[in-house]
Amino acid sequence: MAEIGPALELFRFILSTLGQIQLARNFEDDFEACQLKLDILQLRLSRWKEVVDLTSDKDLDTPKINDGKSQPRGIKEVLDEIEHCLDRYKRNSRRDKDGLTKENQEALEPESNLPSDIKSIRRRLMQCIRKRQSQASTAIQGLKWVFYKKEVFDQFIGSMTELLDELEKIAPGDDHEQLYKLSEEECGDITKMNLLTLKESIEGCDPWLSESVDKKLQGGQAGTQNIYQSNNRGFTVGNHNGDNKGFTVGEGNTLTNHF
C-alpha cells in the first residue's frame, strides 16, 4: 500500500470538515440553497481528488502550471490555505454566536427541514461523495461548527470557491476533461425538475457541474405531450417528453405507458 502523505491527510480533514458544517435557524428562509452550496463544496473537492494523486507528497509543492498572471502555487500550499480558511471561519462563528437567543443558536437539520425534492438531490450528491470517501483507508475527524450569519456564510462560499478554482487549475488539461466527465455522472440520475433546482443553487460555485447540468437540460426536450386521436373510439397515440404531471385523458379514462 502506498504511503499516506500529509497532503492526503489534509484533504481528508478538509472533506470531513465540509461535511460537518451546519447552518443556524437564521438560515431558515435560505436553508435549501445554502445547504446545497455546502454539499457542492464537498462534491467538487471529492471530484478533484479523483484526478490527482495525493498518496505521496512528491512534487505536490511544485506548481503544475503558470498562467503568467501570478506566481503559481503547488497543491500542498493551496490545501494549507483551505485549512487556514476553515480554521478562521470556525473561530469567527464563536463570536457570531454571542448575543443570539438559545433558539437562534440551534442548528437546522437537513432531514427534518428540507423539502423532498432537495432531499432527493442531496441523496444523489451524497452517494457520489460517500463512494469516493469509501476508497480512503483512514477516516480523519474534521472541524465542526455552525454558521449564524448569512453574509459570513456567503463570504465563506466565495473564499472556498476561489481556492477550489485554484486547485483545479493546477491539474493538467487531461484532468480537466476527466473532471467534466465525473460531473456528468453526478447529475446523471437527477430528474429534470430537480436539475433546474440544482442549477439555481450551484451558480458560480461549480463550473463543471453547471456545464453538465446545462448540457443535460438542453439535451432533453421540455415536458410535452403530443396527442393524436381519431373521433372517440380506438387508440390514442402520443409522444411524451418530461414528467407526467398534471396530465389527464378525461374522467373515467386511463393512461397506459408502453415501453
R_g of the chain, CA atoms, integer Å: 23
Give the total number of structural domains in the chain: 1
241 belongs to a structural domain: no
166 belongs to a structural domain: yes
Give bridge partners of residue 146 from the DSSP assignment.
Answer: 22
CB-based contact 47:40 (threshold 8 Å): no
Nearest-10 crossing angle of helices 150-170, 75-97: 170
pLDDT of residue 104: 92
56 belongs to a structural domain: yes
86 belongs to a structural domain: yes
- Per-residue pLDDT 10s for the chain (259 aa) are 334 468 889 999 999 999 999 999 999 999 999 999 999 999 999 999 999 988 755 555 555 544 555 556 889 999 999 999 999 999 999 999 988 999 999 999 999 999 999 999 999 999 999 998 876 556 677 889 999 999 999 999 999 999 999 999 987 777 889 999 999 999 988 999 999 999 988 888 999 999 999 999 998 544 444 343 434 433 343 334 454 545 455 555 555 554 3
pLDDT of residue 128: 95
pLDDT of residue 114: 96
CATH number at residue 159: 1.20.120.1020
225 belongs to a structural domain: no
Give bridge partners of residue 224 from the DSSP assignment.
Answer: 241
236 belongs to a structural domain: no
Statement: the pTM of the whole predicted model exceeds 0.85: no
pLDDT of residue 194: 96
Q: What angle do CA 248, 249, 254 make, to 5 degrees?
A: 95
Residue 209 structural domain: 6-219
pLDDT of residue 61: 53
Integer CA distances (angstroms), 232 to 68, 176, 211, 229, 253, in order: 72, 57, 46, 8, 12
249 belongs to a structural domain: no
152 belongs to a structural domain: yes
